[in-house]
Amino acid sequence: MKILVCISNVPDTTSKINFTEGDTKFDTNGVQFVINPNDEFGLTRAMWFKEKQGATVHVVNVGTATTEPTIRKALAIGADEAIRVNAEPTDGFFVAQQLAEVIKNGSYDLVIAGRESIDYNGGMVPGMIATLLDMNFVNTCTGLEIDGDTVTATREIDGGKEKISTSLPLVIGGQKGLVEESDLRIPNMRGIMMARKKALTVVEPTDATSATNDVSFDKPAAKGAVKLVDADNIDELINLLHNEAKAI
């Protein structure tokens, strides 16, 4: 089985976010980038298939050379090879077109993508890939078992979970549940050293256009001032909750 894991290069959740050029561009200065958490769950599950079923695992990223440290981390975790599409990921449709071309040329049986990235939270790319390539698709996937070409998948639905059966080739939009957080892997020194010798192929983007563009960004409104009420002044507390906070 040949698996491709799609990797997004996203800001660490502890990063302080700022914008430049009149709030039209994301300011990357001082920002630490990591593997998108939903993708990391998928990569860890792919490693399970590699170890238990002898699968070959490749990773792919659409991005400039600045994303290569993140790709190398995926190789250090255990992926066999990596591909970087040398393009700025301008929007979800553009990224999906680039990934679809890589998948088509690589003849992959299983494509694992995160259900969404934590930077833009678009949630579009996995479904677009499946549509472009006419492949089976399971979104919000929290469980995955494969026996030959038969796949049993579990996905989140409103009010519960659904178990379904499908077949390879398949695209999934994965998330926490594919593996637990305790199963995520930290690259060890041996993995880091081996990653330096693994193939990282850079390919030029296919001719594709972006369907959207960012007009501007706005930060969330600043938190309002806090009013402190003496613990014995219950009447004042009730008045504030009722007339200002409208909570009661």
Structural domains present in the chain: 2-220 (3.40.50.620)
Token output for 117: 């990235």
Q: pTM of the predicted model, to two decimals?
A: 0.88
Ordered per-residue pLDDT tens for the chain, 248 residues: 999 999 999 999 888 889 999 898 889 898 999 999 999 999 999 999 999 999 999 999 999 999 999 999 999 999 999 999 999 999 999 999 999 999 999 999 999 999 999 998 999 999 999 999 999 999 999 999 999 999 999 999 999 999 999 999 999 999 999 999 999 999 999 999 999 999 999 999 999 888 888 899 998 888 888 889 898 999 999 998 999 888 88
Q: Return the pLDDT at 17.
A: 87
Q: d(Cα 150, Cα 165) in Å, to the nearest integer?
A: 7
DSSP structure string for 194-223: HHTTS-EEEEPPPS---S-------PPPPP
The three-state secondary structure class of 164 is strand
Please choose, from the candidates 149, 153, 147, 148, the residue with its C-alpha nearest in 3D space to the C-alpha of residue 175. 153
The three-state secondary structure class of 155 is strand
